[in-house]
Structure 1
Amino acid sequence: MQKSVENLRREIGLFALTLTGLGSIIGSGWLFGAWKAAKVAGPASIFSWIIGCLIIICIAVSYAELGGMFPESGGMVRYPQYSHGSFVGFIAGWANWIAIVSVIPIEAEASVQYMSSWPWAWAQNMYDGTHLTTSGLVLAFFLVIGFFLLNYWTVGLFAKANTIVTVIKFVVPLLTVIGIYVVGFKTMNFTHVSGGFMPNGWSGVLTAIATSGIVFAFNGFQTPINLAGEVKNPGRNVPLAVILSLLTAGVLYFLLEFVFIGSVPSSMLSHGWAGLEMKSPFADLALALGIGWLAVAMFADAVISPSGTGTVYTATTARMIYGMEKNGYFPKIFGTVHPLYKVPRSAMWLNLAVSYLFMFLFRGWGELVEVISVATVVSYMAGPVTVMSLRKLVPDYHRPLKTKGLAVIAPIAFIVSSLILYWSRWPLTGQVLFVMLIGLPIYFYYEAKRGKETFLKNFKAGLWLVCYLLYMMLISCLGSKQFGGYNIIPYGWDMVVVAVSALVFYAWAIRSAYFTDQLKEAKSLNQPVEYENESIKKVAQN
C-alpha cells in the first residue's frame, strides 16, 4: 500500500541538494582511488576515470528522470517495483541497500587509515598495513556514531552540516591538484616507467573501472534521488542536482588522477606501477615532494571527506529502508517517521547495526571497495529498464525531465553496466552475485502472505533478472583469463558476448513490464510543479 511522503519535511533546496550529491561522491574515493587505479592500469588509468564517469552519467540520466517523476524518499529502491512488480523491486532494492549501507563503515575506516600516517605513535598503531587494529576499530566506531547523530534529530541539521563539510572537502582536493602539479609534475612518468603508458593493456583500464573504486566513487549520484521526498521543488531540483554533482566530481577526479600519475617520485616506481605501495596515497606523495602544508591539510581532510560522505549515506540508507518497508519487505516499524524531527529513526538504528557488522567483517578500505562496487553495478541494472518501461506503460505521466535520446542511452547504459560487472573479474563477480541472491528468502517470506496469483505475476515479470544474474556468473567463469575466467571465451570475443547478451536481456526486461498496483498508487506523487523561473525550466527540459 502506497504511503504518503507528505509527513517528511521538504527543506532541501537545489544548492544544498547538489552539495549533498557532491558530498556523497567526494569521499574516500579521492583519497585512495587514484593510487589504486594507477596500480591496476598505470598512466592509462586517466582513461578509466573518463570512461567510468561517462558510464555513470548514462545510468544517472535514467534515474534522474525517475526522480523527477516520483519525488519520494528511498526512491532508488521503489522505482523497479512500479514497472516490474515486487520480485524485481526486491532484488534491485536489496542490491542497492547492500551497496550503500556498507559505505558507512568504509568511510569511517578510510578516515582511520589516513590518520594512521600521523606522526604520533598512538595514531600509527591504528592500522597495521592491511587491517585496522583494535584501537583503529574503536575510533571508527565513534565516527559512525557521529554520522548517526548528525542525522538523528532533523534533516535540516544534516543539510546545513553537509553544506559546510562539502565546501571544505572540495577545496582540499582542488588544492591538492594545484600544489602537487606545481611542485612535482613531470610528463616522463606517463611513458618511461616499466610497462609504458598502458602496462596491462585495455583489460587493465577496464578492470580499474570496476574494482579500483571508480564506480564506488561516483555512486553518490543516488543521494539526491533518495532524498527527493525532502526536497523543495523536486521535479526540477532532483535531476539538476544529479547531473551537476556528477559533472563537477568527474572533472575533479580526472585532475587528481592526472597529477598523481605525473608526480610520483621515480624512487617509488622501481617495481612499476603495480608495485607502488602507499599507506595514505596523496599525503605520502605530498610529504615525498616536500609540501608539508598540503600533507597537513590532507590529513585533516582525511577525517572531513569520509566523515561527510558517511553522514550523507547515513541519511540515504535510512530513506532506503523506509522505501523498502513501503515495498512491503521490512517490518512496519522501519517505515515510521518521528513525529517531531521527521526522520525515519527506526531505519537509522537498523543501518547502524548493519554498519558495525560490515566494519568487523572487513577491516580495511581495500577489502570492502571491490565488493561494494560490484553490488552497486547490480543495483544499477533496473534503472534503464524501468525508465523505458514506464515510457511505454504511462506515456501520459508528468516528466519534469524527459531526456532526449533516452531510447538509445538506456540500452547502452544496461550494456555498459553488464560489462562493468564482467570486468570485475571472476571469482569476485560470482561471490557478490551469490550474495545478491541470499536475500530471496526474505522476499519469499513476505510474498507468501499475498497469494499465489500475485506471486506468479511478479515472479514472471522478474524472471529475466534472476536468469540474467545466473548467466553473468556463468559468462564470468567461462570468460577470458584477462578477467579472471577459464579462458573458454577468448579475450575480445568475451566482451562481444556480454554486450549482445545484455541487449537480449534488456529486450526481455522491457517486454516483462506491466502496469502494477504500485504504479497506479504512485500517480499521486506524479504532479506538475511550478518552476521558479523560465530559464531553469528550459534547462530541465533540454
Structure 2
Amino acid sequence: MENLKRDIGLFALTMTGLGSIIGSGWLFGAWKAAKVAGPAAIYSWIIGCLIIICIALSYAELGGMFPESGGMVRYPQYSHGSFVGFIAGWANWIAIVSVIPIEAEASVQYMSSWPWAWAQGMYDGRHLTMSGLVLASLLVFVYFFLNYWTVALFAKSNTIVTVIKFVVPLLTVVGIYIAGFKTNNFTQAPGGFMPDGWSGVLTAIATSGIVFAFNGFQTPINLAGEAKNPGRNVPFAVVLSLLLAGVLYFFLQFVFIGSVPSNLLANGWAGLQLKSPFADLAMILGVGWLAVALFADAVISPSGTGIVYTASTARMIYGMEKNGYFPKIFGTVHPLYKVPRPAMWLNLAVSFLFMYVFRGWGELVEVISVATVVSYMAGPVTAMSLRKLVPHYRRPLKTKGLVVIAPIAFIVSSLILYWSRWPLTGQVLFVMLIGLPIYFYYEAKRGKETFSRNFKAGLWLVCYLLYMMLISYLGSDRFGGHNVISYGWDMVVVAVSALVFYMWAIRSAYFTEQLKEAESLNQEMKHE
C-alpha cells in the first residue's frame, strides 16, 4: 500500500472535485461560448456535460478498482503497458499542470477591472503586464504552500473555499436574472438563435472553455490514495461534483444570454466585448452588490481551483514516477506531512514556465482543452479492457452499460478533438508526441522484449494521434480544415474511424506486469 495518509472523506472529496470544476471557467466560459455559438451555447454546455459524464463514468469505475494517488496517469498502464501509459500520462500532466498558472492569471485578469489605477495596470487587454505577472506568481506560491505541509490542511481549506465560490455563482444566476433577463436575446439578436449553425455549437464545446471547465472531475480520482473508504467515496465524489457543476454552468449560460443589453450586440454575439463578463453585466444592470461579490470571487474561485490542482498534479508526478518515467526522487513522500514534496517543486517550476510563456487566460485555455481531450482517450479503453482481462476484480462502482458508454465516450472525445479546429489540433497533438524521448530513455533500460510488447500494445494510440492530425487538416473549413472532406461527412468519418481505433485498442490490451502487481491491492480492498 502507498505511504500516504487516508484522511479525506466523501464530503471533502466531493468539495475537492467541485472546487476543481468551479474555477475560472465559470467567470469566462459563458461569455466565450456565447461569442462562438450565440444563444445556442446552452446546447454546448448540455452536450459537453453529457460527454464528460460518459468519460467520467469510465474513470469512476477505475478509481474504485485502484484507489491510488495519481491514478489518472496509471490506469492505462495496467491494460496496455508502458507506451500507452506514458503518452496518456504525459497528455494528462500537460493539461492539468498548466491549470495552476491559468487560474492565477484569471484572478489577476478579473482584478484588473477593479476601479483603482494600480489594478487596471495589471492587464493590457491581451496580456498580463509585469505587475500582473508578479501578483500571479505570488498567488501560485500561496497555492503551493497551502499544500506543502499537509493534505488535511488542503482538504479543510478547500472545503471552505468551495462552499463560498459555489454560493457566488448561484447569487449571480439569481441577481442577473432578476435585474435584466429577457427572452428577446434568444431569438431577436443578430444571427438569431444559432448564428453559426451547429458547427458553432460544437466548436464552442472544444474551444471556449467548456471541456476545460468540467475537467475537475479528475481530482477525486487523483487523490484516491488519500481518501477514506476510496472504493465507495471516489466514484460518488466524481459523479456528484460533475452533476452539481453541470447544472450550475447551464443556468449561468442561460442568464448570461438573456441579460446582455441589446446595444452590446450591434455587431452580433461574435463582437461582444466584455473585460470581466459577469461583473461587467452586474455593473451595467445596476446590481452593485453583485459586482463587488464577483470581483471578490474572481480571486476566490480560480484560487480555490489552483489550490486543488497544486495538490492533484503532485500526485500525478508521483504516479508517473511509480510507472517508471521520472527520477525516483519525485516518488518521495515526506515522512511527517505525507505529501510528495519533490513532485510539488517540479510542478511549481513548470507552472512558472507556462505563466511566462502564455500571459493571458485566453491564450492557454484552448491548448489545455485539446490536451485534456487527448488525455481522456485511454480511460474508456482501459475500463473496457480490464472488464475483459480481469472480470473477477472488485468493482465498487460497476458502470451499467459500459459496453455501450465506453465506445461512445471514445467517439465523442475524438469529435471534440476534431471540433477544436486546425491548426490547433495539429499543434497540440505534436506536443503530445514530443514527450516520447523521455519514454524511450527509461524504456531502453528494461530490455528489448519488454519494449517490443509495450510498443505493439500502444501502436494504436500513436497511429490514432497522427491520423487525427491528418483528418483535421483535410476536414471541413468550418473546423479550420482544407475542405477535402465536406462538412457533415467529416464528422461521419471521424466517428467511424474512432470506432475502428477503439476496437483496435481493446484488442491490443494484455495482462501487464503492472496489472499483476495491482492484484494484491485489489484483493486487499475486498476485505476492507
Cα deviation, residue 229, structure 1: 0.0
**SS of structure 1 residue aligned to 2:510:** coil
Map 1:87-236 onto structure 2 (within 5 A): 87-236=83-232
Map 1:498-513 onto structure 2 (within 5 A): 498-513=494-509
1:390 maps to 386
**Aligned-partner residue type, residue 245 of structure 2:** A
2:32 maps to 36
2:358 maps to 362
User: 1:226 touches 1:320 (CA, 8 Å); kept in 2?
Assistant: yes
1:374-423 CA-to-partner distances (Å, cap 9, x unmatched) read 00000000000000000000001110000110000000000000000000
User: 1:400 touches 1:528 (CA, 8 Å); kept in 2?
Assistant: no
**1:522, 1:181 → 2: CA distance?**
51
TM-score if structure 1 supplies the norm length? 0.97
**1:179, 1:524 → 2: CA distance?**
53
User: 1:93 touches 1:324 (CA, 8 Å); kept in 2?
Assistant: yes
1:471-527 CA-to-partner distances (Å, cap 9, x unmatched) read 000000000000000000000000000000000000000000000000000112214
Cα deviation, residue 341, structure 1: 0.1
Q: Which runs of 5+ in 2 are unaligned?
A: none
1:51 counterpart = 2:47: yes
Map 1:431-442 onto structure 2 (within 5 A): 431-442=427-438
1:425-447 CA-to-partner distances (Å, cap 9, x unmatched) read 00000000000000000000000
2:446 maps to 450
**2:95, 2:193 → 1: CA distance?**
32
Cα deviation, residue 36, structure 1: 0.2
**1:275, 1:531 → 2: CA distance?**
60
User: 1:236 touches 1:531 (CA, 8 Å); kept in 2?
Assistant: no
Match of 1:322 among 318, 322, 337: 318
User: 1:338 touches 1:344 (CA, 8 Å); kept in 2?
Assistant: yes
User: 2:394 touches 2:526 (CA, 8 Å); kept in 1?
Assistant: no
1:474 maps to 470
**1:96, 1:361 → 2: CA distance?**
19
**1:497, 1:22 → 2: CA distance?**
35
Q: Which runs of 5+ in 1 are unaligned?
A: 533-542
2:290 maps to 294
**2:292, 2:521 → 1: CA distance?**
48
What do you get for the CA RMSD once the two structures are aligned? 0.9
1:430 maps to 426
**1:188, 1:528 → 2: CA distance?**
59
**1:248, 1:530 → 2: CA distance?**
30
Mark the CA change 1:274 to 1:531 in structure 2 (over 3 Å): closer, same or farther.
Answer: farther
1:537 maps to none
Cα deviation, residue 529, structure 1: 5.2
Counting aligned pairs with the same residue, the percent is: 87
1:539 maps to none
1:463 counterpart = 2:459: yes
**1:530, 1:276 → 2: CA distance?**
55
1:439-469 CA-to-partner distances (Å, cap 9, x unmatched) read 0000000000000000000000000000000
**1:522, 1:126 → 2: CA distance?**
49
**1:421, 1:98 → 2: CA distance?**
16
Cα deviation, residue 267, structure 1: 1.4
**SS of structure 1 residue aligned to 2:169:** helix
User: 2:60 touches 2:397 (CA, 8 Å); kept in 1?
Assistant: yes
1:65 maps to 61
2:8 maps to 12
Match of 1:518 among 500, 514, 521: 514
**Aligned-partner residue type, residue 495 of structure 1:** M
**Aligned-partner residue type, residue 359 of structure 2:** R
**1:116, 1:292 → 2: CA distance?**
17
1:352 counterpart = 2:348: yes
**1:523, 1:285 → 2: CA distance?**
55
1:274-302 CA-to-partner distances (Å, cap 9, x unmatched) read 00011100000000000000000000000
**1:240, 1:249 → 2: CA distance?**
14
**1:277, 1:359 → 2: CA distance?**
24
1:85 maps to 81
1:254 maps to 250
User: 1:398 touches 1:528 (CA, 8 Å); kept in 2?
Assistant: no
**1:523, 1:167 → 2: CA distance?**
38
User: 1:62 touches 1:410 (CA, 8 Å); kept in 2?
Assistant: yes
Cα deviation, residue 531, structure 1: 11
**1:311, 1:183 → 2: CA distance?**
33
**Aligned-partner residue type, residue 452 of structure 1:** K
**Number of matched pairs:** 528
**1:16, 1:186 → 2: CA distance?**
38
1:535 maps to none
1:85-132 CA-to-partner distances (Å, cap 9, x unmatched) read 000000000000000000000000000000000000000000000000
1:340 counterpart = 2:336: yes
Cα deviation, residue 236, structure 1: 0.1
Cα deviation, residue 306, structure 1: 0.2
1:536 maps to none
**2:262, 2:118 → 1: CA distance?**
31
2:371 maps to 375
